[in-house]
Amino acid sequence: MEEAGDPGGLSPDQVERCMSAMQAGTQMVKLRGGSKGLVRFYFLDEHRSCIRWRPSRKNEKAKISIDSIQEVSEGRQSEIFQRYPDGSFDPNCCFSIYHGSQRQSLDLVSPSGDEARTWVTGLRYLMAGISDEDSLARRQRTRDQWLKQTFDEADKNGDGSLSISEVLQLLHKLNVNLPRQRVKQMFKEADTDDHQGTLGFEEFCAFYKMMSTRRDLYLLMLTYSSHKGPLDASALQRFLEVEQKMTGVTLERCQSIIEQFEPCPENRSKVMLGIDGFTNYARSPAGDIFNPQHHDVHQDMTQPLTHYFITSSHNTYLVGDQLMSQSRADMYAWVLQAGCRCVEVDCWDGPDGEPIVHHGYTLTSKILFKDVIETINKYAFIKNEYPVILSIENHCSVVQQKKMAQYLTGILGDKLDLSSVSSEDATVLPSPQMLKGKILVKGKKLPATISDDAEAGEVSDEDSADEIDEDCKLLNGDASTNRKHVENIAKRKLDSLIKESKIRDCEDPSDFTVSTLGRPGHKAEGRTAEEDTESGEDAGASRRSNRVLVGSFSKRKKKSSKLKKAASVEEADEDLDLQGSQARGATRQRKTMQLSRALSDLVKYTRSVGSHDVDTEVACSWQVSSFSETRAQQILQQKPAQYLRFNQHQLSRIYPSSYRVDSSNYNPQPFWNAGCQLVALNYQTEGRMLQLNRAKFSANGNCGYVLKPPCMCHGIFNPNSEDPLPGQFKKQLVLRIISGQQLPKPRDSMLGDRGEIIDPFVEVEVIGLPVDCRKEQTRVVDDNGFNPMWEETLVFTVHMPEIALVRFLVWDHDPIGRDFIGQRTLAFSSMMPGYRHVYLEGMEEASIFVHVAISDISGKVKQALGLKGLFLRGPKPGSLDSHAAGRPLPRPSVSQRLLRRTASAPTKSQKPSRKAFPELILGTQDAGSEGEAHDVAPPSPGPTPQALAWEEPGGRSPRSPRVRN
């Protein structure tokens, strides 16, 4: 057997032996961090696509996909293994599998070292094969695996075939609502072997293909083939040029596409692309809405750091809340590999002279500073070489600061050496390109007035205060007399918070006032009545629970006129949030701290300074000012143009309010609008805000740096203005939401797959400057999550597309609310024009099919109500827009209209409550009130399939609700 670290050197026989051993399975012990492990039987599935185990209460869901594995490490390296004393296990028998978006670890102990090496080698071999795949091969493999998995799960009796009853149950699970007679007919056509009455896997694939033939794509294909059927090379060329806006498309290229995607040998021999081939091409990465060039770094990386947005993490070491959760070094590995380029390290004096990392004055666990730096050194540049900023929050004594400096220089070595960076102009920062492979230490620096011989000196600590508020922290950093009392309060209240709100970000996306968790005695400002509920959270409960939590700590706080010792660089701004001493009831005193020369000398371009007055001229660009979200929001409201100019000359870092003890996240977009570079988020809390962050930085190869638009780097404007850039062209985005494919039931559905078939609708949101923020929705399609048709057009005007994000959400309509199904968010600049699929994030096959058209418009946008009716066309024979083509719609009764208005799903009869569409078409009228607007569509450069239609079963008028039993 080859070394486990070299899977590429295996011979075919060795690979096969390794795979066979893994498929046969091994009984291993899974460690959980407690005293007792779990004995489980682990094996590689027959498709070599996932690891499974038994016994498990999860049954078929007990698996880890090979796709999701990030790393396989040998020995006792993980944080879980470190909890067990040395000698507990033979290191040769130990290995860890890191998987999932949050880098969870599966820590296993095998019976022997040979079996452990077999698993490590085999998994690394499979991972290497996946990483070498191109995106087309990966998508095809994923689809094949999904079909096989779907077949296996539907085969209830395990006989390797599906009966008609099993197929009907499967269709319900897949949200397919077809007449039983139609299903039986397709079943009979697919059942071609000797075993009549059941479908084998190949027959099931044929059945599924019949069932999933795309009518929307078929009509589109007919449009460009002049109704002759398959597309020849010239027709395909015309489609790509006219609709997809591709340039330089040759006939040879079109012939290559046909050869690659057409499955039918007869069509391939004639160089024709049939419906199956056209579907394959449309669902391939070539038909994705995301610009494939943006998977790689494509922006200019030679400008000063101040000209970039830089993805940043807050309290990187924490895996959960800010009061009681675990601190883990491998969080740095996960965050850095996710593209983050600024990580935070809170350093405190530890036992035995070893500095430690944890959240001060709380019950969070402690980890060694040395382990954190070793992890950062290992993972900083695995995914990209652009510089990492190490934000040091220093609370250590001079002795342990020297130890920190020793670890930094000894472990990071040349990564800290900036002598090769030829940038000595203090008014300009170096570029990401110049700093490739370097780690910048952000921290305090000794002033030039202190003697060079001094090993330490006094520096101002005015920009520091406790990051955890006085209300919430323990009185001491050690085990004090009140520790148990505080621990019980914290556990009780955090448990309540988790149960009531699921601890997710709750901002209303259309509201640009940051709403922090309520402070005692102060109203939470900037909230609207409608809260974002994409994750099903109760926003009101979240706010109430947070106030209760903070209030419970306030009760034990004794009145005092003295401020306690500083705990974090960032908290100066917390003192300033509500004009400083007035909020605290105390007069701030000048604070200082002792700083080691050795640690100070490691800081060059990123010196931590107090939050400057944004009106003053910035003399030196080699510094970073930190602002709490509330302080930054005050500045953004009062001096937006000055804040923008301030961020042109130096870096600024925004961090969450100390009252976000649940590690929730604020909305980062307002701070990006002001040009703030380092907008730090809690990476451990998945949700809307982290999805916006991912979308933002996906636009430049996920390298952690996104170039600001030129108007943010030079000049000045008010980002909060209704016309921020007068005289400049704006973008008009015309989105036609055509159809959906294989939309699943909501994840929190009470009955799971047995629940009723969904009634989906699509919501599209543009997020950017306040003037650009807008939401629009389609109608509801009844009882069809498999292939719903909407065919509705939504129009948006965007003043600054360079910083705008576009968010697609799919909801399941219910008369008393709506259930979240999935979302996909991407940068406006990353959208491709033409007919595109929008794949929902984290879902294998679920997508929506859209047409994207972007054009320039000029002049001041004139707002008017009711123009949506121009684009949501009424029933007309031969139109894709109506499920009731050719039938007049009766006026709904009063009771129907009242019932309909109780739902959160949209109706054509509703007038927009948000800003209206821009007035783009002359001579129009408000025809939306009755939902029977004339058929007026935005101009299209080429033919569209709107003249061809079918009657879609299962649809319903937006004004006719269906009451569920």
> Residue 755's pLDDT is what?
66
Q: Say how far residue 885 (Cα) sits from the centre of its chain.
A: 39
Confidence band (pLDDT; 50, 70, 90) for 521? Answer: very low
Condensed to tens digits (0 to 9), the pLDDT of residues 552-573 reads: 444 444 433 333 333 343 444 4
Higher pLDDT residue, 697 or 185? 697
Distance (Å, whole) CA 20 – CA 114: 14
Of 59-63, 422-426, 657-661, 937-941, minimum mean pLDDT range: 937-941
> Residue 577's pLDDT is what?
44
> Residue 468's pLDDT is what?
60
Q: Which residue has the tokens 């001491």?
A: 476
> Residue 498's pLDDT is what?
56
Confidence band (pLDDT; 50, 70, 90) for 134? Answer: low
Please state whether 423 falls in left (phi above 0), alpha (psi between -120 and 50) or beta: beta
Q: Highest mean pLDDT: which of 57-66, 483-492, 899-908?
A: 57-66
> Residue 777's pLDDT is what?
96
Encoding tokens for residue 592? 């200082």
Q: Which residue has the tokens 């770094």?
A: 297
Distance (Å, whole) CA 17 – CA 333: 32
Percent of the chain with pLDDT over 90: 47
> Residue 752's pLDDT is what?
54
Question: CA angle 653-658-663, nearest 5°?
Answer: 90
Q: What is the DSSP string of 191-223?
A: --SSSTT-B-HHHHHHHHHHHT--HHHHHHHHH
> Residue 141's pLDDT is what?
67
The closest alpha carbon to 820, from 662, 687, 631, belongs to: 687
Radius of gyration of the chain (CA): 30
Distance (Å, whole) CA 60 – CA 292: 34
Contact (CB, 8 A) for 456 and 405:
no
First to last CA, the chain: 62
Residue 921 has pLDDT above 60, yes or no: no
From residue 535, give the alpha-carbon distance in Å to each of 73, 189, 322, 511, 819: 34, 42, 21, 18, 9
> Residue 404's pLDDT is what?
97
Question: 71-95 in b/e burial notation, b at 16+ Cβ within 10 A?
Answer: bbbbbbbbbbbbebeeeebebebbb
Name the residue type at position 825: T
Condensed to tens digits (0 to 9), the pLDDT of residues 295-327 reads: 999 999 999 999 999 999 999 999 999 988 889
Condensed to tens digits (0 to 9), the pLDDT of residues 195-222 reads: 788 898 888 888 887 877 888 999 999 9
Encoding tokens for residue 889? 């719609």
Encoding tokens for residue 76? 């006792």
Condensed to tens digits (0 to 9), the pLDDT of residues 676-729 reads: 999 999 999 999 999 999 999 999 999 999 999 999 999 899 999 999 988 889
Contact (CB, 8 A) for 567 and 465:
yes
Q: Highest mean pLDDT: which of 279-283, 665-669, 906-910?
A: 665-669
Q: Which residue has the tokens 């510094």?
A: 623
Confidence band (pLDDT; 50, 70, 90) for 147? Answer: confident
> Residue 469's pLDDT is what?
62
Residue 534 has pLDDT above 70, yes or no: no
β-sheet with 94-99: strand ranges across: 63-65, 50-54, 38-44, 26-31, 104-109, 94-99, 69-74
| pTM score, whole prediction | 0.77
Q: Which of the residues are catalytic?
A: 314, 358
Distance (Å, whole) CA 477 – CA 468: 12
Contacts for 89-96 with beta carbons within 8 Å, 24 or more apart?
Answer: 92/116, 95/119, 95/120, 96/72
Bond from prior residue into 833 cis (ω within 30 degrees of 0): no
For residues 108-136, average pLDDT? 82
**Alpha helices, DSSP H only, in 25-134?**
79-82, 113-132
Encoding tokens for residue 124? 């690394």
Condensed to tens digits (0 to 9), the pLDDT of residues 54-106 reads: 888 777 778 898 888 888 988 888 878 877 887 888 999 999 998 887 778 89
Of 122-136, 511-525, 607-621, minimum mean pLDDT range: 511-525
Condensed to tens digits (0 to 9), the pLDDT of residues 235-278 reads: 999 999 999 999 999 999 999 999 999 988 888 999 999 998 99
Contact (CB, 8 A) for 30 and 78:
no
Condensed to tens digits (0 to 9), the pLDDT of residues 592-620 reads: 889 999 999 999 999 998 776 888 878 88
Of 154-163, 348-357, 507-516, 534-543, minimum mean pLDDT range: 507-516
Of 70-79, 437-446, 519-528, 816-825, minimum mean pLDDT range: 519-528
Q: What is the DSSP letter of 527?
A: -
Work out the number of other CB atoms within 10 angstroms of the CB of residue 754.
11
Question: 228-266 in b/e burial notation, b at 16+ Cβ within 10 A?
Answer: eebbbbebbbbbbbebbebeebeeeebbebbeebbeeee
Contact (CB, 8 A) for 93 and 112:
yes
Contact (CB, 8 A) for 203 and 191:
yes
The closest alpha carbon to 418, from 436, 405, 403, belongs to: 436
Question: CA angle 614-620-625, nearest 5°?
Answer: 50
For residues 126-143, average pLDDT? 66
**Helix and strand totals (H; E) in the chain:** 27, 30
> Residue 497's pLDDT is what?
58
Q: Kindly state the greatest CA–CA separation across the chain.
A: 93
Q: What is the DSSP letter of 621?
A: S
> Residue 833's pLDDT is what?
97
Distance (Å, whole) CA 594 – CA 349: 14
Of 175-189, 210-224, 423-437, 717-731, minimum mean pLDDT range: 175-189
> Residue 186's pLDDT is what?
84
Q: Which residue has the tokens 């007449």?
A: 179
Q: For strand 705-707 and strand 817-827, is the pairing parallel, antiparallel, or unpaired?
A: unpaired
Q: What residues pair up with 343 in beta bridges, in sequence order?
A: 390
Distance (Å, whole) CA 109 – CA 324: 29
Name the residue type at position 2: E
Condensed to tens digits (0 to 9), the pLDDT of residues 797-838 reads: 999 999 999 999 999 998 788 999 999 999 999 999 999 999
Residue 944 has pLDDT above 60, yes or no: no
Q: What residues pair up with 706 in beta bridges, in sequence order?
A: 309
Higher pLDDT residue, 934 or 276? 276
> Residue 139's pLDDT is what?
62
For residues 499-507, average pLDDT? 44
The whole-chain average pLDDT of the chain stands at: 78
The set of residues, in sequence order, having a beta carbon less than 8 Å from that of 101 and lying 6+ positions away, is 68, 338, 686, 842
> Residue 398's pLDDT is what?
95
Q: What is the DSSP letter of 853?
A: E
Of 42-56, 400-414, 876-890, minimum mean pLDDT range: 876-890
Encoding tokens for residue 693? 């962050």
> Residue 226's pLDDT is what?
81
Distance (Å, whole) CA 912 – CA 251: 46
Distance (Å, whole) CA 672 – CA 769: 9
Encoding tokens for residue 638? 């009062």
Which stretches of 590-746 are assigned E, i.e. beta strand?
592-596, 607-609, 623-628, 651-655, 678-681, 705-707, 730-741
Q: Which residue has the tokens 């016994």?
A: 55
Work out the number of other CB atoms within 10 angstroms of the CB of residue 222.
17
With residue 895 as reference, give the H or E element that holds it. Answer: helix 894-901
Q: Say how far residue 86 (Cα) sits from the centre of its chain.
A: 39
Higher pLDDT residue, 259 or 426? 259
Question: Residues, the chain, total?
Answer: 965
Contacts for 397-401 with beta carbons within 8 Å, 24 or more apart?
Answer: 397/349, 397/594, 398/455, 398/456, 398/594, 398/595, 398/596, 399/353, 400/347, 400/349, 400/350, 400/353, 400/354, 400/355, 401/355, 401/456, 401/595, 401/596, 401/598, 401/599
Where does residue 194 rank: exposed (0-12), middle (13-18), buried (19+ CB within 10 A)? exposed
Distance (Å, whole) CA 568 – CA 464: 5
Condensed to tens digits (0 to 9), the pLDDT of residues 403-413 reads: 999 999 999 99
Residue 439 has pLDDT above 70, yes or no: yes
Of 485-499, 534-548, 889-903, 928-942, minimum mean pLDDT range: 928-942
Which stretches of 781-919 are assigned E, i.e. beta strand?
789-798, 805-814, 817-827, 834-839, 847-857
The closest alpha carbon to 167, from 158, 181, 185, 155, belongs to: 155
Contact (CB, 8 A) for 192 and 237:
no
Higher pLDDT residue, 835 or 869? 835
